[in-house]
Copies of this chain bind each other. A is one copy, B any other.
Amino acid sequence: MVTIKDIAKLAGVSHTTVSRALNDSPLIPEGTKQRIREIAASVNYTPNFNAKSLVLARSFHVGLFFSTLDKGTTSGFFHETVTGALSVIKDRYHLIVNAIDSYGGAYGSVTPQSFDGIIVMSQSHADESFIRYVWEKRIPLAVINRRAEPLPVVNVLSDDEAGVFRAVEHLIGAGHRRIAILEGKTGFQSSQNRKNGYLRAMAKHGLDVPQPYQVAGDFDLESGYIGMQQLLACDPLPTAVFCSGDELAVGAMKAARSRGLSVPGDISIAGFDDNAFSAFVSPALTTVKRPVVSMGRLAAEGLLRALAERRQTVETIRVPTELIVRESVGPAPTP
């Protein structure tokens, strides 16, 4: 492997001069820089980042951690977050991806020497210990999707509650009164936020929310199917169901249909997330869109800002949600 010392020898200067030239130091005159750069290129020199890391105490790595990868994180969500983060990280840092629950609480390998900064896509309050750990190690931190208070970090939040509120009001506006909810994974903050939006809308319009109308799911298709079966056992049947995720909604539609019910003829269904397939199922899903790619991007930008300023920036970024009206919600059937 070719090092700056080899280049130094070729150029007839000291390795210090080479280092400075390649780092574009103002101490070196332009001509010398040129010459050294050319030599470096001609022997196709690539810097050893391990050595740089050691002396600069920077790793050139940014971590992106999800609460879990195989238990409750939907593919689209994962994909979009990574895409968003990578779009700003690009070649300035390497992006290390992992799941928090894979550590089993032993975060030993997460050190300030290994990570210049960390983005946590936080879905569950079980992340609390990880977030606190990172914070205590003084690693610059950005948290997406869950309020990171009281820790002063970059925090990117979508207004789920408002989105759900609008969606449920949309159902109410279509004449529905008996509206059930298929909740997300228990313990996930997003589940709670969305439920709050539902409850607030129902309360505002003086509508009842009986216990059997509230069923917990797991954000995946299967639990949507199962949860819907539970709801379909209720008497009286709800005329509309708000689902805390699109996958839940698609599972629920499946269950409704296999019970001989038409969507939205007999029962209306609304989802949350606007997954890639949501416009393409039949009927196309009315849902709440959350700009996940942007959230990943904003978190990465915030983190990089913090890194550039060499201090922990405190910043809360809110992104809006948007109601997407499609076909899965219809007027309430007349009794």
Residues in B with CB closer than 8 Å to A94 are 61, 96, 98, 109, 114
> Is A221 touching B279 in the complex (CB atoms < 8 A)?
yes
Give the residues from 231 to 281 in chain A that come closer than 8 angstroms, CB to CB, to chain B: 247, 250-251, 253-254, 257, 276-277, 279-281
> Is A70 touching B83 in the complex (CB atoms < 8 A)?
yes
Residues in B with CB closer than 8 Å to A14 are none
Kindly supply a per-residue 1/0 record for chain A positions 93-124, scoring 1 wherever the CB is within 8 Å of any chain B CB and 0 otherwise: 01111110011000011011110000000000
> Is B59 touching A86 in the complex (CB atoms < 8 A)?
no
Query: Which residue of the partner chain, among B54, B76, B79, B225, contacts A50 with CB atoms under 8 Å?
Result: B54
Kindly supply a per-residue 1/0 record for chain A positions 211-236, scoring 1 wherever the CB is within 8 Å of any chain B CB and 0 otherwise: 00000000011001100000000000
A75 at the interface (CB under 8 A from B): yes
Residues in B with CB closer than 8 Å to A76 are 75
Residues in B with CB closer than 8 Å to A83 are 69-70
Residues in B with CB closer than 8 Å to A253 are 280, 282
Question: In the docked arrangement, what's the CA distance between A247 and B284, Å?
Answer: 14
> Is B102 touching A90 in the complex (CB atoms < 8 A)?
yes
A249 to chain B, nearest CB (A): 10
> Is A48 touching B113 in the complex (CB atoms < 8 A)?
yes
A91 at the interface (CB under 8 A from B): yes
Give the residues from 1 to 40 in chain A that come closer than 8 angstroms, CB to CB, to chain B: 1
Question: In the docked arrangement, what's the CA distance between A327 and B210, Å?
Answer: 36
Which of A75, A80, A114, A276 has the most B CB atoms < 10 Å from its CB? A75
Query: Which residue of the partner chain, among B95, B112, B257, B280, contacts A251 with CB atoms under 8 Å?
Result: B280
> Is A98 touching B78 in the complex (CB atoms < 8 A)?
no
Query: Which residue of the partner chain, among B98, B112, B247, contacts A277 with CB atoms under 8 Å?
Result: B247
> Is A59 touching B70 in the complex (CB atoms < 8 A)?
no
Question: In the docked arrangement, what's the CA distance between A76 and B99, Å?
Answer: 17
Question: In the docked arrangement, what's the CA distance between A75 and B293, Å?
Answer: 13
A78 to chain B, nearest CB (A): 5
A-B contact pairs, 21 of them (CB 8 A): A46-B108, A49-B111, A49-B114, A50-B53, A50-B54, A50-B59, A50-B114, A69-B86, A73-B79, A75-B276, A78-B79, A79-B79, A86-B98, A90-B102, A95-B98, A96-B97, A221-B276, A224-B280, A254-B282, A257-B282, A281-B282
User: When A and B form their complex, which 6 residue pairs have the shortest distance between CB atoms, in order from nearest?
Assistant: A75-B79, A50-B53, A75-B75, A50-B54, A75-B76, A221-B280
